[in-house]
Amino acid sequence: MSKANYILALDQGTSSSRSIVFDRDGAIVAMAQREFEQIYPKAGWVEHDPKALWATQLETAREVLAKAGLQAGDIASIGITNQRETTIVWDRRTGEPIYNAIVWQDRRSEPICAALREKGLEPVFRNKTGLIIDAYFSGTKLQWILDHVDGSRALAEAGHLAFGTVDSWLLWHLTGGVNDATRAQAVFATDVSNASRSLLLDVHRNEWDDELLSLLRIPRAMLPQVLPSSHVYGHSLPELLGAALPIGGIAGDQQSALFGQACFTPGLAKNTYGTGCFALMHTGKTFQTSQNGLITTSAAQTGATPEYALEGGVFIGGAVVQWLRDGLRAIRSSGEVEALATSVADSGGVMFVPAFTGLGAPYWKPDARGSIVGLTRGSTVAHIARAAVESIAYQSAALLQAMSRDAQAAGGAAVTELRVDGGACVNDMLMQFQADLLGIPVVRPKVIETTALGAAYLAGLSSGLFRDLDQLSAQWQAERRFTPQMPRERAQQLMADWEHAVRQTVAE
């Protein structure tokens, strides 16, 4: 047996870059993490320095190998997972970004979206991409850059500029883009799950679509090659990590988490509790259009045949805890929130709708802003903290209920259990409240880093470290099941109260 029994997963997220080494059983061997600066030039604008994304990711990759006591030769393959929709444009000749990365949360391209909607183009995009026209997705961010960075459109049409989501940026650097001598060999590609978030990909064919490119005025020469999620994309430069390592898997973070949760078959669903919250339900080879405010997206794919998932995204999930810490200064560290929230029996009628950057699925209200309603003279910071934590569960419950309605309308079954992951799923109070609102078990796996695990699995499959999906399904293990304790009548009343608070928040 080869001594290369480990996978290196690069997990480039919204607030930090992480690297995790997994063994062939899917267990974590070591982890390294670095935060980086969030840039807020204007209200509703969110940016990252692309160079910081690469630098912190490379630093953590080197650090985790040292922590694990491993050499490059011990690594069978590298998997990449990334914050999706975040848009980077760089000059292929120099490797220099022409603008900061525009982050998925950024709303600046909403006027572009509004103009497209006014032309009646929503059905065109919906039918080809599975998405709605929204500033969330990368295509309109890319158009904004070409419209606002001097000379960029001419450079793009001449073939000098590259557009990529963060996976493409990392792949390009890993395979040669870091220096002049190797830049010509750098691999410029993406996987289908990331490409499907651009408003530019026909997900029925897994190919860039000329009509959509024309509508958004995007030169085709800018776009990376689209490949399956489990695929040997290329090899890292030997000087980066000590050897030329195959890069064998790429998936956007939420599709990667779905894969890491072993949700390979129709009807299996997961929710990731990170900066935002993202619920996905696998629908197999069926492209299913939501009637309840969700989107259809490409699932991570091990081959050429398209596979799909229904998805709903909560823009502000765990980020509401960061606001309690940094904005309200109610807590000194995020870890304190559970103790503060559980110091009161309930939220005392307080409802917190954290629409700091608008409301995502199933509401799609880009202009909404956050609100706290139901305050009384007896309300305390503990009640607000509890309402903030509960807002994560309320938003996720609205998504999952919409998902079940879609599934049943298509002749399938409602979601019968929810697999959870992400940093906030360690909060037992939140997970119990989630089970209570949904009325179904919430299952937390032994490995909650399923976003990185999904990338590791995709890379391990292409390198032969893992045999097939059945082997991966057998490795998935539950750590705890949270079963509903609240009477359904009470849960339904709470959801009605939540919807009332949302209506107050989005009222004209």
pLDDT tens digits along 155-165: 999 999 999 99
Residue 366 has pLDDT above 80, yes or no: no
| Residue that is written with structure tokens 């991570």 in the block | 300
CA distance linking residue 383 with residue 388, whole number of Å: 9
Q: What is the pLDDT of residue 368?
A: 86
Q: What is the pLDDT of residue 508?
A: 52
Q: What is the pLDDT of residue 213?
A: 97
Residue 96 has pLDDT above 90, yes or no: yes
Q: How confident is the model at residue 507 (pLDDT cuts 50, 70, 90)?
A: low
Instruction: Tell me the per-residue pLDDT of 174-187, one tens digit each, with 9 for 90 and over.
Output: 999 988 889 989 99
Residue 102 has pLDDT above 90, yes or no: yes
Give residue 273's identity as a one-letter amino acid code: Y
Instruction: Tell me the per-residue pLDDT of 433-467, one tens digit each, with 9 for 90 and over.
Output: 999 999 999 999 998 889 999 999 999 999 999 99
Q: Is the dihedral of CA 33, 337, 423, 372 positive or negative?
A: negative
Q: What is the pLDDT of residue 6?
A: 96
Residue 209 has pLDDT above 90, yes or no: yes
Residue 410 has pLDDT above 80, yes or no: no
Instruction: Tell me the per-residue pLDDT of 12-42, one tens digit each, with 9 for 90 and over.
Output: 999 899 999 999 999 999 999 999 999 999 9
How many C-beta atoms surround the C-beta of residue 102 within 10 A? 25
User: For 46-50, 61-65, 238-242, 421-425, which range has the lowest pLDDT when averaged over its residues?
Assistant: 421-425
Q: What is the pLDDT of residue 409?
A: 83
- Average pLDDT (333-350) is 89
Q: Judge contact between 385 and 341, C-beta under 8 A.
A: yes
- In SS3 terms, 67-133 reads as HHCCCHHHEEEEEEEECCCCEEEEECCCCCECCCEECCCCCCCHHHHHHHHHCCCHHHHHHHHCCCC
CA distance linking residue 247 with residue 231, whole number of Å: 8
- Average pLDDT (80-95) is 96
Residue 319 has pLDDT above 90, yes or no: no
In this prediction the pTM is 0.88
Angle, vertex CA 389, rays to CA 385 and CA 392, nearest 5: 150
CA distance linking residue 356 with residue 401, whole number of Å: 23
